[in-house]
Structure 1
Amino acid sequence: MARISKIFPVFLITAALFLGAPQTAQAFEADLVAIESMGVEAFLPAAETGDVEAQTMTGLAYLTGVGAEQDVPTGLDWLKKAADDNNDAYAQFVLGKILASDTIPGIPSDPAQAKIWLQKAVNQGVQDAGRVLTDMKDADTATETPDALRSKAEKGDAAAQYRLSMAHYFGTDGFEKDLKASLKWLGEAAHGNDAAAQLLLGLRLMDKGYDTDGMIWFKRAVAQKNAEAEYRLGLYYLRYDMSGQNYGAGWRLLQRAAEKGDTRAQKILYSGD
């Protein structure tokens, strides 16, 4: 953990502290919060020395244009260093997720390559990679029109509100990039009890300095037994809560995440990392 703690400052729970393979697509969106806040410069030096997590974050920054000027070839190079050269499951998942559809402006979908990377991630225990593979076969999801998605969101469908928030964040799926609209729909989804939205809203609020409000939303996601939230809050309690009052709670949260198959939590619990 020493090398990771050099990358992520103590004041950011948004820092995407991850070990091993993230289990849900929520890790992807949450990591972008840290990249957006800190910029690619926070990760590039470690990436150049071979740190696989930093290579993945650097690749994400250049690919998405979040925290860096978009440079697709450079982003792909960094991600492939982590995914191929270092056999990192998260990088494999990210590559597959991005190539599975037109998720990021400037990066055309490549279903054949996406399936290769996603299957590699599945083989290393990334459960959500299997879900993305399944979603690729779902014609309804693939062909949903912008009007249909907006209609669902406006009718109060929290899952649709979350997808609309992400579409506005990236400027994809027929929607303009609009960060204000993205945050609005993220809030709607969180209030609609979507755990993924609650996690991401909590991270965004804390990144802006609204720690109390952010932690409220974070804990709501935990209350819904969201494994990603359990892992991140558990790790925060263990590594960054200087009061020490939540140390036991941190271990319990990691145990809950581990029981759901989170390999990062399992590594901490059973190997002492």
Structure 2
Amino acid sequence: MRATALALCLLASPLAAQTADEVEAARQAYNDGHWDLAMTVLIPAAEAGHPDAQNVYGIALKDGEGTEANPPAAIGWYEKAIAQGHQKAMYNLGHLYQNGAEGVPQDFDKARALYEQAIESGYGAAANGLALMYERGEGVEKDLSKAVEYYQIGAEAGEKHALYNLANYYRLGQGVEEDLNRALELYTESALAGHPQAWNAVALFNQHGMVGAPNPEAAYLAFRKAIDGGLALAGVNLGEFATSTEGWWQDPVEGYGYCLWGINNAADSDRENFIQTCEPLVEYLTVEEEDAAKRFAESIGAE
């Protein structure tokens, strides 16, 4: 729908005079994966000085989406947007320097300065990047208390990664006193903001009754949310859950199917462990049931 709206915008006005609405439509189209179409608006808009377009064009150059990857060139477009006060560009350039890319070596001093600039300008979400630097000791002395401080700033801004990371600290009692109730609150807020790992954590809390009594139905639903977000680990977890936990969700065939989905979507480093975890689930299935589980696994991605 957004791509169609953008295409209509392109027919309605010349490329040399993109409106703010057209740039926003292009940004949304880019986020939806319609990169080539989005670039027909974003590149001329960036060249014309539109800061949102400059920021997204920088992202495209960094990731090679809709244009040839060129991380060093991304820096210049981020800087143009930053010169106009674009907060997300401050964060994006900081993230680029923190992690590095082809042709862009890591520079923790620049990353920290950009994150601080973004936070001072009111973009609290950038605090997650700065928290990670204190957590890992990247260009600063490792300091978990400072990491918590910045995760808190990010969490207050509703940044889903900061919410999730802060929840981990409360769950483990790192840098703060252990507080499982607070951890679950933060995981839930992160999950509702779209963080698949947070949905998996919410599921585990409910499955094992880490706060209050076990709630297997809530666990099942949260695992499904994590799977919808593409988290392979959640498939393996739900596979074991659906095989062994009594209730309307119990189904050994679907359980093995969830496990297969997790294996099929796993990172190479995780796949062997997932295979070993899932092997016992197929032991008592017939050949027909195993085939049904494979079909179910294929259907998950098609939903």
TM (norm. structure 2) is 0.40
Q: Which is higher, the Rg of structure 1 or of structure 2?
A: 2
Larger RCO of the pair (alpha carbons < 8 Å, separation 6+): 1
Normalized per residue, the structure richer in helix is 2
TM (norm. structure 1) is 0.44
